[in-house]
Amino acid sequence: MKYFYLKRIVCILLVLMSCSKSGVIEFCKEVDKEGNGQKCGTKFTTGELMIIINAESSFGSEKISVQKTDLNNSAYSEAKLIKVKPISVQANTDLSFYRAGKYKITAKKDKIIIAEGEIEIIDDDKE
């Protein structure tokens, strides 16, 4: 009887651990034809950036949402839908950052986080 409960607990933990995995988002000045980021990092001046979404498994959908949240002002948040290939694990899109601050970018499919990353944006004249 003890082993039955122990097996159950181990199974539940494995499921929880596998569900909590999410991919990463890279922030880059540009992306080449092969989809590789160029001039990537986590701190940039204001302007347009490309984000590269690297999921742990295929998207399984034709669209995912990308949400940008200002970590200094949680009331500021915006989202957009992007088209992706369902069998792909990587996608990219452009995002505008014209306000200095720290941001969290989250890619979701059906409200499930598939990738996330954080970035700091500084004003041009403060660099």
* Residue ranges covered by each domain of the chain: 22-126
**What is the number of other CB atoms lying within 10 angstroms of the CB of residue 125?**
7
* 77-119 confidence digits (pLDDT tens): 889 999 999 999 999 999 999 999 999 999 999 889 999 999 9
Strands (E), the chain: 23-31, 37-41, 43-45, 47-54, 63-70, 77-83, 90-97, 101-109, 112-122
- pLDDT reading at 62 higher than 90: yes
CATH code linked to domain 22-126: 2.60.40.1930
Query: Which residue's structure tokens are 């990587």?
Result: 90
* Distance, C-alpha 30 to centroid of its chain: 17
> If pLDDT is split at 50, 70 and 90, which confidence band does 73 have?
confident
The secondary structure of residue 126, as a DSSP letter, is: G
Query: Which residue's structure tokens are 């949402």?
Result: 65
Q: Is 103 exposed, middle or buried (0-12, 13-18, 19+ CB in 10 A)?
A: buried
User: Once rounded to an integer, what is the mean pLDDT over residues 2-22?
Assistant: 50
Whole-prediction pTM value?
Answer: 0.77
